[in-house]
Amino acid sequence: MKKTWWKESIIYQVYPRSFKDSNGDGIGDIPGVISKLDYIKSLGVDIIWLCPVYESPNDDNGYDISNYRAIHPEFGTMQDFDNLLKGVHDRGMKLIMDVVANHTSDEHAWFEESRSSKDNPKRDFYIWKPGKDGTEPNNWMSFFGGKAWQYDEQTEEYYLHLFTKKQPDLNWENPEVRREVFDQMKFWVDKGVDGFRLDVISLISKRNYEDTPYSEFNETIAEVYANGPRIHEFLKEMNKEVLANHDVMTVGEGPGITLENGLNYVGDDREELNMIFHFDHMFIDHGPQGKFDTVPVDFIHFKKVFGDWDKKLGTSGWNSIFLGNHDFPRIVSRFANDEEYWEEASKLLALMLLSMRGTPYIYQGDEFGMTNVTFDTIDDYRDVETLNVWKETQENSGDLDKLMKAIHWQGRDNARTPVQWDDSANAGFTSGEPWIKVNPNYESINAKSQEMNPRSVLHFYRKMITIRKTYPVLVYGDFEIINEDDASIFAYYRQDEEYHMLIVLNFSSEDQSFALEQEIAKAELIRIVSNYRQSNEVENGAIVLQPWEGIMYKIKKTN
């Protein structure tokens, strides 16, 4: 297996709008990120993934770009960006940009031209179709509710938007579109950025528009919207035009990428992407009607997702390990326990995230256990997806109480409340009125108080990061799940020529006994780390794990 820096790195994701406000307008900004670079560095992470900071009308918080080469004034100036990049590099870290190239904003100059007339030279930059029998060209649905087609009066045709109607999809079939996208990427590479996170890159090549049948949305993504016929051709072209000859990394966001086709995106011999984010564990609690139709997480399936993907990508490609981001609930609330065992459970997830094969991604605030939020009224929510589904449900006289519960579980704003820096007003995020309310638990959960407590979640993350850097087996070593059918314990080995590690994680609020395999029971086990002050000893070949306890052992090799 080839060794490289991005396999050995730990990535920290910054959603700048919610990170740190420097000027009191209530919106996080680039100078705010700069002011926290020492903090980020102190975690021990290597790379910062910066969510979009480009010019945008903010229909989808910057994932609707109106100018790829300009910084949104609410985030600062290009000079601020250059200072940020320098600050990151001066501290020995790297920075990757978020590229949103499946679609632009409808306020991008290209779209304004494109929609102006059928013979405008930019017409073909987007996907325009005449209606069929007086209605949409086909039955495609938007990821954010409603039809994926918007009728435009001016030229009496429909344009495609897989996300909101203010996010028209670019037509990648047009070589000029590809050239423009690659050119703006080169612009950032020339500035010295170290790579890209590519938004919904699995969707850029479209299938034919006539009759693509679909059934249930999540399954439909893979078969209808993602993995289109020219996807690999486009990615190879991007690689050749932008990435080759630069030491930059890529991670492609891949809704619809499956176990069967994942390696086609990241295989060593493919010259496409370095890593992808697949969604098999992110959609795990989505019911037949999608994310707001929540079903319980099937824990055995959850483990299997990690096992299966490692088998596919672990050695002939590379995996990324993440449990959440700006689109999903807070990880401790979703996969663990944010009440009685909040502290243990937050640490347990750190232990898991940083002991698997693949590049780990930490989302801002997770490093000190930020949780979901439960606002009582829809007026406190900001996310376009949440607001759309609310409106739709209202119009259809649906059950709004039920929906509110689902929003509390699944809404994207769970991850977007401001980072809780301290226990002062607005959690130290802003001196003004924050664009979205702070989670009321900031007085007990915040970075400052944990900084002062050596046993905190925050310090545990630092410890785990140090451990990952100390034992390369945690990066490259084989990953093997031990007890696939155990409904409470996630246990696995990491192993190479030098080391043999055992990780046991109790994902339940009860004591659980874990029986060691015979060979292992005979060996000497050295405890490297645990999230409890006091752990039980191995007795009669078994360990009794306390609620949400996680332990990593080094198994002494005997010859």
Closer to ligand ISL by Cβ: residue 13 or 530:
13
Smallest distance from the beta carbon of 292 to ligand ISL, in angstroms?
9
Alpha-carbon distance of 334 to 338, in angstroms, equals 8
Would you state the structure tokens that stand for residue 556, as one six-digit string?
Answer: 């002494």
Would you state the structure tokens that stand for residue 113, as one six-digit string?
Answer: 């031209």
- DSSP secondary-structure letter at 240? I
Residue 15 contacts which entry, Ca ion, ligand ISL, none (Cβ below 5-8 A, type-dependent):
none
Site residues for ligand ISL, window 138-157 (CB under 6 A)? 143
Produce one character per residue of 340-369: b if its CB has 16 or more CB atoms within 10 Å, e if not. Answer: ebbbbbbbbbbbbbbbbbbbbbbbbbbbbb
Smallest distance from the beta carbon of 285 to ligand ISL, in angstroms?
12
Closer to ligand ISL by Cβ: residue 194 or 385:
385
Contacting residue, 8, 23, 180, 409, with Ca ion by CB under 5 A: 23
Closer to Ca ion by Cβ: residue 57 or 287:
57
Residue 312 contacts which entry, ligand ISL, Ca ion, none (Cβ below 5-8 A, type-dependent):
none
Contacting residue, 169, 194, 199, 285, with ligand ISL by CB under 6 A: 199
Closer to ligand ISL by Cβ: residue 122 or 291:
291
Contacting residue, 7, 19, 29, 30, with Ca ion by CB under 5 A: 29
Site residues for ligand ISL, window 372-411 (CB under 6 A)? 385
Produce one character per residue of 283-320: b if its CB has 16 or more CB atoms within 10 Å, e if not. Answer: bbbbeeebbbebeeeebeebbbbbbebbebbbeebbbb
Is residue 253 annotated as a catalytic residue, yes or no? yes
Beta strands in 36-148, from DSSP E residues, in sequence order: 47-50, 54-55, 67-71, 94-99, 128-129
Stretch that binds Ca ion, among 24-32, 125-133, 279-287, 418-426 (CB under 5 A): 24-32
- DSSP secondary-structure letter at 544? E
Closer to ligand ISL by Cβ: residue 104 or 319:
104
Is 346 within 8 Å of 332 (Cβ atoms)? yes
In 3D space, the residue among 105, 104, 98 whose CA is nearest the CA of residue 325 turns out to be 98
| Site of tokens 């320098």 | 86
Alpha-carbon distance of 232 to 450, in angstroms, equals 46
Site residues for ligand ISL, window 479-498 (CB under 6 A)? none
| Site of tokens 């249930």 | 216
Closer to ligand ISL by Cβ: residue 366 or 385:
385
Beta strands in 112-160, from DSSP E residues, in sequence order: 128-129, 149-152, 157-160
Residue 60 binds ligand ISL, judged by CB under 6 A: yes
Binding track over 34-53 against ligand ISL, x by CB under 6 A: --------------------
DSSP one-letter string for 492-511:
EEEE-SS-EEEEEEE-SSS-
What is the β-pairing status of strands 195-198 and 157-160? unpaired
Residue 21 contacts which entry, ligand ISL, Ca ion, none (Cβ below 5-8 A, type-dependent):
Ca ion
Smallest distance from the beta carbon of 98 to ligand ISL, in angstroms?
8
Is 509 within 8 Å of 559 (Cβ atoms)? no
Residue 13 pairs with which residues in a beta bridge? 49, 363
Measured at the alpha carbon of residue 188, what is the angle toward residues 4 and 465, in degrees to the nearest 5? 40
Is residue 199 annotated as a catalytic residue, yes or no? yes
Residue 77 binds Ca ion, judged by CB under 5 A: no
Smallest distance from the beta carbon of 33 to Ca ion, in angstroms?
11
Contacting residue, 33, 88, 97, 200, with ligand ISL by CB under 6 A: 200
Contacting residue, 137, 195, 255, 418, with ligand ISL by CB under 6 A: 255
Residue 106 contacts which entry, Ca ion, ligand ISL, none (Cβ below 5-8 A, type-dependent):
none
Residue 511 pairs with which residues in a beta bridge? none
Contacting residue, 12, 111, 163, 435, with ligand ISL by CB under 6 A: 163
Q: Which of 21, 29, 55, 253 is catalytic?
A: 253
Residue 383 contacts which entry, Ca ion, ligand ISL, none (Cβ below 5-8 A, type-dependent):
none
Q: What is the 3-state secondary structure (H, E, C) of 331-397?
A: HHHHHCCCCCCHHHHHHHHHHHHCCCCCEEEEECCHHHCCCCCCCCCHHHCCCHHHHHHHHHHHHCC
Is 351 within 8 Å of 550 (Cβ atoms)? yes
Contacting residue, 65, 100, 101, 170, with ligand ISL by CB under 6 A: 100
Residue 23 contacts which entry, Ca ion, ligand ISL, none (Cβ below 5-8 A, type-dependent):
Ca ion
Residue 100 contacts which entry, Ca ion, ligand ISL, none (Cβ below 5-8 A, type-dependent):
ligand ISL
Q: Which of 21, 74, 194, 199 is catalytic?
A: 199
Residue 29 binds ligand ISL, judged by CB under 6 A: no
Given its phi and psi angles, is residue 44 left (phi above 0), alpha (psi -120 to 50 degrees) or beta? Answer: left
Closer to ligand ISL by Cβ: residue 354 or 415:
415
Measured at the alpha carbon of residue 369, what is the angle toward residues 365 and 372, in degrees to the nearest 5? 85
Stretch that binds Ca ion, among 14-22, 285-293, 313-321, 468-476 (CB under 5 A): 14-22
Q: Which residues are catalytic?
A: 199, 253
- Per CB under 6 A, residues contacting ligand ISL are 60, 63, 100, 143, 163, 199-200, 253, 255, 291, 326-327, 385, 412
> What is the binding site for Ca ion (CB under 5 A)?
21, 23, 25, 27, 29
